């Protein structure tokens, strides 16, 4: 399926002027009142042109559309890594005993070395898309063990989602190592919105409400 950019024949970073010019050229060519070939297929394409232009010409609509394209790209990337099949099975059956048995000294995180060697993006994908709770929990621990600040914002956004409460608790407990004021402010806001008593208790324990 073509993107709106492909329908208009412009690049994703095209300027508003370029989008307008491309739209005008297509309208002159495919408008029912101008074209000699008034087929149902051409009429459908003309509707697609108008739909694409209606979104891309408005900054806010275009911004939302670009975000949706990015999310679809991330999902496609995830599938290519085959996390949902082979690796899910390995971690749920073969590695879990080692994961639970291991005692890591660094950052008091209990994570198998293979998981900790994964990139930040791979770990975030496991947390967001995996259907295996244990895989999600250990991905959170591995991410926290890296001690990097930039994934923290992604984890905070997950606290607003419908992800499993145990994953939320794991994230919240891991945030103890990042005592920034902004993080505390976000946790206070989540505390006022969260319905899970388990999650609320974890927030109270973390920021000492």
The per-residue pLDDT for range 14-50, each reduced to its tens digit, is 999 999 999 999 888 877 766 566 667 777 888 899 8
Buried b (16+ CB within 10 A) or exposed e, 86-122: ebbeebeeebbeebeeeeeeeeebebbeebbebeeeb
> Considering its fold, how many domains does the chain have in total?
2
The verdict on residue 47 lying in a domain is: yes
Q: Residue 58 pLDDT more than 90? A: yes
> 58: domain range?
4-76
Distance, C-alpha 181 to centroid of its chain: 24
The verdict on residue 130 lying in a domain is: yes
The verdict on residue 70 lying in a domain is: yes
Q: What is the CATH number of the domain that holds 37?
A: 1.10.287.110
Same structural domain, 120 and 187: yes
The per-residue pLDDT for range 130-159, each reduced to its tens digit, is 888 888 888 888 888 887 776 788 888 888
pTM metric for this prediction: 0.47
């Amino acid at each position: 399926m073509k993107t709106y950019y492909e329908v208009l024949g412009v690049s994703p970073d095209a300027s508003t002027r370029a989008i307008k010019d491309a739209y005008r050229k297509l309208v002159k060519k495919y408008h029912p009142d101008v074209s000699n070939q008034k087929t149902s297929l051409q009429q459908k394409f003309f509707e697609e042109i108008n739909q694409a232009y209606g979104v891309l010409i408005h900054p806010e609509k275009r911004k939302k559309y670009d975000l949706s394209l990015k999310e679809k790209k991330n999902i496609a990337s995830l599938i290519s890594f085959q996390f949902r099949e082979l690796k899910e099975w390995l971690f749920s059956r073969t590695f879990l005993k080692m994961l639970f048995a291991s005692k890591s000294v660094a950052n008091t995180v209990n994570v198998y070395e293979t998981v900790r060697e994964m990139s930040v993006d791979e770990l975030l994908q496991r947390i967001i898309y995996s259907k295996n709770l244990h895989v999600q929990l250990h991905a959170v621990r591995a991410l926290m063990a890296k001690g990097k600040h930039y994934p923290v914002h992604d984890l905070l956004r997950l606290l607003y989602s419908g992800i499993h409460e145990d994953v939320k608790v794991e994230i919240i407990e891991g945030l103890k190592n990042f005592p920034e004021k902004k993080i505390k402010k976000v946790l206070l806001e989540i505390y006022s919105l969260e319905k899970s008593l388990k999650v609320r208790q974890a927030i109270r324990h973390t920021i000492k409400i």
